[in-house]
Structure formats: C-alpha cells, structure tokens
Amino acid sequence: EVQLVESGGGLVQPGGSLRVSCEASGFTFSTYAMNWVRQAPGKGLEWVSYISSSSSTMYYAASVKGRFTISRDNAKNSLSLQMNSLRDEDTAVYYCVRVTHGSRFDTWGQGTLVTVSS
C-alpha cells in the first residue's frame, strides 16, 4: 500500500524553528517528485514547496522562500521541511504529497499540525 506518514509537528514560538518529516512506503520513493502543501485552520490549501526525484530542482512559494528548506533522503525514503523564522501565519496542517506525471498530487499523507504561537 502506498503510504505517506508525516511527523514532527508541534507548538513553536514566533521566530523559532521546526523540522517536519515524511516517511514514504509502498512505492519506489526515489523515482517520484514530492511536495509539501499546507492548510491553515478552517482555510484552503496552499502549495508550499516542491523537490524533484533527484533533488536537482526545488521550488518554493513566495510566502516561505528564504525561510523554509525542502530536502529528501532517497536511501531512507524520507522527505523533510526545515522551517525557520516561523510566523503566526505559518500555523497549519502540513501535508506530504507525492507528484506523478509532473503535476498530479496523487497521494497525500494524513498531515502534521504546526502551531506558531507565543
């Protein structure tokens, strides 16, 4: 079964840092691009960041560029998002998402909640 399991969410103060991770199973992780997508409480979906299968290409939403860093370890079937200089508006559920055929977000994890608050 194709599965994505996020971890690492929690409460962090404004200006702080947090690293969320995603463990993939049930497919050949190294052949798929991956994304992070977030959803603030009661709000819609917002794409955050993309990484290609080989880590050669990364993209970021303007709202997180310069503060967030996406990375992956194909040997460990894992995806990470390092979040620095966190702001109140970064509070959201962060979803790990598999990308197929260039643009289809075909598999989503259950999400991990990040709360930025003093």
Partner 1 sequence: QSLLTQPPSASGTPGQRVTISCSGSRFDIGTNTVNWYQQLPGTAPKLLIYSNNQRPSGVPDRFSGSKSGTSASLAISGLQSDDEADYYCATWDDSLNGWVFGGGTKLTVL
CB distance 36 to 49 below 8 Å: yes
Minimum distance from residue 39 beta carbon to partner 1 (Å):
8
Gap between the terminal Cα atoms of the chain:
39
DSSP state, residue 8: -
Distance in angstroms (rounded) separating the CA atoms of residues 5 and 13: 24
Among 86, 95, 112, 116, binds partner 1 (CB under 8 A): 95
Minimum distance from residue 33 beta carbon to partner 1 (Å):
12
Among 70, 109, 112, 114, binds partner 1 (CB under 8 A): 109
Minimum distance from residue 85 beta carbon to partner 1 (Å):
18
- Would you tell me how many other CB atoms lie within 10 Å of the CB of residue 47? 16
Give the footprint of partner 1 on this chain (CB under 8 A): 35, 37, 44-47, 50, 59-63, 95, 101, 103-106, 108-111
